[in-house]
Amino acid sequence: MPDVSVLEVRLYDEPIGTLTHLQGDRTIFAFNEDYVENSDRPTLSLSFKDDLGGLITNIRTTQRVVPPFFSNLLPEGSLRRYLAERAGVNQQREFFLLWVLGLDLPGALSIHPAAGNALPPGADEDLPENAKPNALRFSLAGVQLKFSAFENAGKGGGLTIPAEGVGGSWIVKLPSQQFTGVPENEFSMMTIAKMIGMDVPVINLIDLDAIAGIPEGVGELNGQALAVGRFDRSADGPVHTEDFAQVFGVFPDDKYNRASYANIARVIGIEAGDVGAAEFIRRLVFSALIGNGDMHLKNWSLIYPDRRTAALSPAYDLVSTIPYIEGEDTAALNFSRTKKMAAFDADELRHMAAKALLPEKLVIDTAAETVQRFRQVWEAEKTHLPLALSVAEAIDRHAPTVPLYKELA
């Protein structure tokens, strides 16, 4: 049996490098010479950018897992287990999981077997004979069950999740079996965010019976699903994105502990300027006010509209988590010195601005505007949203405990 397997990495469908699986379950990524020498090359990731703006080409070999940038393209937790079982792949063998899921990854990246569509050489009993590329089309990174779907043509409308092939321009997020009303919660928080002035994708709540192709084995589902327009897809083709675990070159397991919001803000300030920094502050303050304790590194992303220059992507995964974790008001990351939302005050904001090298006035003025608009919009709209009363009440109790709520009112 051959000891080497190769996957071709394409960006905007152009080959830019290879992932090679070596003896001993090791993986190495290498850029193609043409990509390295192209002065106008599209950006793959800021993690491959050195201090002088050049391309880092000396990339560390990884054991068992693939390098962090690629590992973060894969789903996590129960979603990974479900997908791996359905596709006949050992979930721990990320190289082969990328082979199965590589044609519909986030952004403009795709991964193809170098020898065509055949099973990569070197696969063992973990990959049965009936395993095939793109066994299921919801390879989007994350934990929640979510599918890449097509919009149906005709009067009936609705969405279809393809069983095979490349997915569509919508993400369908199914109801949680652990927590009630998560899609309704996210729809409501995203709606409020948009009304406050944040950049959010198109969103809709959709009945489960309007979704064709939900795979068997996902369990009993209750409530509605959330349909989100994919901002990494456009009429002109895919648009490249990367999350901040990829930016910082950390594995998904470290998404809660390897950086702070100040670190994220500094990158956004450098790469996306004051416009991106202000949008980041809006989302951060809003997340604190609604009690969103899950804004980890993978819930912040950059997008490359011109293929080279980074901007902050539209918002996603804005959910009030406090109704589900009683008494927990801790953010996913440190703001600057603390994770406690009850300690997120103007002084902490100023400290974060200084650490991130952002203009203090920009940060404080943006935060104040966000607080004021949130107070107005929330009071006017909370009874008109598809929120459970318990969720609205939890936010009502929580928001005043965040010092900014009163300090900047």
Same domain, 198 and 249: no
Highest mean pLDDT among 54-58, 116-120, 150-154: 54-58
Higher pLDDT, 233 or 157: 233
pLDDT digits (tens, 9 = 90+) for 189-202: 999 999 999 999 99
**What's the CATH code of the domain at 290?**
1.10.1070.20
Same domain, 232 and 281: no
pLDDT score, position 97: 87
What's the whole-number mean pLDDT along residues 139-163? 60
Domain boundary among 197, 215, 237: 237
Question: Residue 133 above 90 pLDDT?
Answer: no
pLDDT digits (tens, 9 = 90+) for 348-397: 999 999 999 999 999 999 999 999 999 999 999 999 999 999 999 999 99
Same domain, 188 and 289: no
- Would residue 118 count as lying in a domain? no
The bridge status of strand 240-243 relative to strand 311-312 is unpaired
Domain boundary among 181, 215, 237: 237
The bridge status of strand 211-212 relative to strand 159-160 is parallel
Q: Which phi and psi angles does 16 have, rounded to 5°? A: -125, -10
Placement of tokens 């279809």 in the chain: 160
- Would residue 87 count as lying in a domain? yes
Same domain, 308 and 402: yes
Same domain, 34 and 174: no
- Would residue 183 count as lying in a domain? yes
Choosing from 104, 232, 243, 294, the catalytic residue is 294
Question: Residue 293 above 60 pLDDT?
Answer: yes
- Would residue 132 count as lying in a domain? no
Same domain, 244 and 231: no
- Would residue 74 count as lying in a domain? yes
Task: Determine the structural domain holding residue 377 and report its residue range.
Answer: 239-407
Q: Cβ contacts of residue 120 below 8 Å, gap of 6+?
A: 5, 6, 7, 21, 95, 96, 99, 113
pTM equals 0.91
Q: For the chain, what is the domain count?
A: 3
Same domain, 227 and 251: no
Same domain, 108 and 151: no
pLDDT category, 154, cuts 50, 70, 90? low
Same domain, 208 and 72: no
Q: Please name which of 145, 175, 311 lies closest in space to residue 231, comparing C-alpha atoms.
A: 311
Instruction: Say whether 294 is catalytic.
Output: yes
What's the whole-number mean pLDDT along residues 25-29? 94
- Would residue 121 count as lying in a domain? no
Question: Residue 163 above 60 pLDDT?
Answer: no
Distance between CA atoms of residues 147 and 194, nearest Å: 23
Domain boundary among 176, 211, 237: 237
- Would residue 261 count as lying in a domain? yes
Question: Residue 142 above 60 pLDDT?
Answer: no
pLDDT score, position 119: 54
- Would residue 126 count as lying in a domain? no
Q: Please name which of 68, 15, 25, 61 lies closest in space to residue 249, comparing C-alpha atoms.
A: 68
Same domain, 322 and 375: yes
Taking CA 176 as the corner, what is the angle to CA 174 and CA 177, rounded to the nearest 5 degrees?
Answer: 125
Q: Please name which of 144, 408, 143 lies closest in space to residue 289, comparing C-alpha atoms.
A: 408
Same domain, 224 and 246: no
DSSP state of 26: E
Same domain, 260 and 222: no
